[in-house]
Amino acid sequence: MNISLPTPSNAPEGGALPLRLCVDGVSVQRAGRRIIDNIGFKLVEGEALVVTGRNGAGKSTLLRALAGLLPIGQGAIRLNSGPLEVELAQNAHYLAHADGMKLALSVEENLHFWAHYLADAPHPRSQSIPQALSLAGLTHALHAPFGALSAGQKRRAALARLLVVHRPLWLLDEPMTALDQASRIRFAQAMRAHCAEGGLIVVATHEPLGFETTRELAL
Amino acid sequence: MTPLSTSPLWALFLREWRVARRIGGSGAMGVVFFLTFVTLVPFAIGADPNLLARIGPAILWIAALMASLLSFDRLFQADAEDGSLDLLHLGSSPLELVVLVKCLAHWAASGLPLILAAPFLGLMLQQEPIALGGVVATLLAGTPALTLIGGIGAAATVTVRRGGLLMALLVLPLTIPILIFGVSAAQAASGGSVPFLSPFLILCAMTLAAFALCPFAIAAALRYLGE
């Protein structure tokens, strides 16, 4: 049975059931070519998995498949909250090379939209937009049009999107691209805090993340 | 049930509306194209008031069709390029409703201005007040269907660079029934052998059918191409 995570009204803070991501023998084909072959891992709450591999090894494909954006040929991907299976797409954040923001809107308008679109009701762990922007180091750009930001600032706004809506599973594809050193440290802190609160992270990257991940998967 | 003001789909409608207004784009541009097209017609066929009065509704309809065709190609492509399309899949709303809301917002931002401009342009084509009313009523009933059919073309060409021409080729044949009944109802409004209501109600029925069917076609195309 697929249900959403308990809504804030019936889930006391910190009282949610432990989360577990199970990936069993997943294979993905794209354009007739098998890109991912029989990948399996389990991730329990608080764990972060780093996916490494050469270019074209299928890191992005794996993350898209985990987010439900690609159909999987074989195997199963499940997100369990305690004994119940929950809808993965509605409990996952997906951050790839594109930021998902409209250039014509301000940073605040963009984040406001995603905060309302991705969550039916505000979650107690969701941050307000100013809080999220200050964690991302972008407070000064609240009202700036997104199109006027530099590549690194856009990335920081995309990080703020992960914070304005609380979702337990983060699927990050090369999140550190274009970030400067200070921002990388901030991003690493945000990931560490997310894990400490019981979140799960799957991150594909070539670069050192700056925080001690528990698991590694080489493709 | 969440109240409308905080519902995800309302947030999406507002975002689409804001983006469309902000880029200063599709709405105003469509109206200017509409104006240019209608202005060109008397130059091409001569300024005979009787002739213009007879073919005016048809010209307004073709101009509205062309003007709305111009605005379709970015409907989903912009979202695909900036990554929003992937994230729209991750919401709690079904993709069919998401694309329906996008189409409605697009219609409100670029179709509605055309309808508001149509009576003024109709005056340039020697239209009687009753004929102007007929054109506005038929455009109001028919353009939502044009937007939804255009949405299918936009979704099918979402991964094609410069897919505008291909999209026009896909969409134009599908709009022929709308055009036939839209124009015949608009012409029937100013007299003729056909009563106004019979083609108008068929036009309304086609728009309702487009509302019911097109979102599924659009969502299916986006899912398939998203792979």
pLDDT tens per residue, range A40-78: 888 888 888 999 888 888 888 899 999 988 888 888 898
Res. A6 pLDDT band, cuts 50 70 90: very low
- Smallest CA–CA separation between A104 and chain B, in Å? 6
Complex ipTM value: 0.85
Contact present, B204 and B138 (Cβ < 8 Å):
no
Q: Which residues of B touch A104 (CB under 8 A)?
A: 18-19, 22-23
What's the one-letter identity of residue A158? A
Q: What is the pLDDT of residue B26?
A: 62
Q: Which residues of B touch A116 (CB under 8 A)?
A: 6-8, 10-11
User: CB B19 to CB A4 under 8 A?
Assistant: no
- Smallest CA–CA separation between A113 and chain B, in Å? 6
Segment (H or E) for B207: helix B197-226
| pLDDT(A5) > 70 | no
Angle, alpha carbons B98-B26-B45 (nearest 5°): 125
Distance between CA atoms of A38 and A58, rounded to whole angstroms?
Answer: 12
Q: Which residues of A touch B89 (CB under 8 A)?
A: 67-69, 89
Structure tokens belonging to residue A35: 């890109």
Would you give the DSSP letter of residue B4? G
Q: Which residues of A touch B87 (CB under 8 A)?
A: 94, 100, 114, 117-118
User: CB B86 to CB A69 under 8 A?
Assistant: yes
What interhelical angle do B129-156 and B95-106 show, nearest 10? 140
Q: Cβ neighbours of residue B213 under 8 Å, at least 6 residues apart?
A: none
| pLDDT(A34) > 80 | yes
Distance between CA atoms of B206 and A212, rounded to whole angstroms?
Answer: 59
| Per-residue CA distances from B100 to A41, A66, A137, B195 (Å) | 38, 26, 36, 32
| Inter-chain contacts counted by CB atoms under 8 A, chains A and B | 85
Gyration radius from chain A CA atoms: 17
Phi, psi of B193, rounded to the nearest 5 degrees: -80, -25
- Beta bridge partners of residue A48, listed in sequence order: A201
Q: Which residues of A touch B83 (CB under 8 A)?
A: 96-100
User: CB B12 to CB A101 under 8 A?
Assistant: no
Q: What is the pLDDT of residue A57?
A: 84
Q: What is the mean pLDDT of residues A191-209?
A: 87
Q: Cβ neighbours of residue A207 under 8 Å, at least 6 residues apart?
A: A176
Tell me the three state secondary structure of residue B139.
helix
pLDDT digits (tens, 9 = 90+) for B39-85: 998 899 888 888 888 889 999 999 999 998 888 888 898 898 889 99
User: CB B83 to CB A90 under 8 A?
Assistant: no
User: CB B8 to CB A117 under 8 A?
Assistant: yes
Would you give the DSSP letter of residue B196? S
Structure tokens belonging to residue A102: 């409209």
| pLDDT(A217) > 50 | yes
pLDDT digits (tens, 9 = 90+) for B173-220: 999 999 999 999 998 988 777 888 999 999 999 999 999 999 999 999
- The DSSP code sequence of chain A is --BPPPPGGGS-TT-SPPEEEEEEEEEEEETTEEEEEEEEEEEETT-EEEEE-STTSSHHHHHHHHTTSS--SEEEEEEEETTEEE-SGGGEEEE-SS----TTSBHHHHHHHHHHHH-SS--TTPPPHHHHHHHTT-GGGTTSBGGGS-HHHHHHHHHHHHHHS--SEEEEESTTTT--HHHHHHHHHHHHHHHHTT-EEEEE-SS--SS--SEEEE-
Q: What is the pLDDT of residue A12?
A: 38
Structure tokens belonging to residue B224: 């398939």
Res. B226 pLDDT band, cuts 50 70 90: confident
Nearest to A121 among B2, B18, B82 (CB): B2
Q: What is the mean pLDDT of residues A182-195?
A: 89
Distance between CA atoms of A107 and A160, rounded to whole angstroms?
Answer: 10
- Name which of A56, A82, A43 is nearest A170 in CA terms: A43
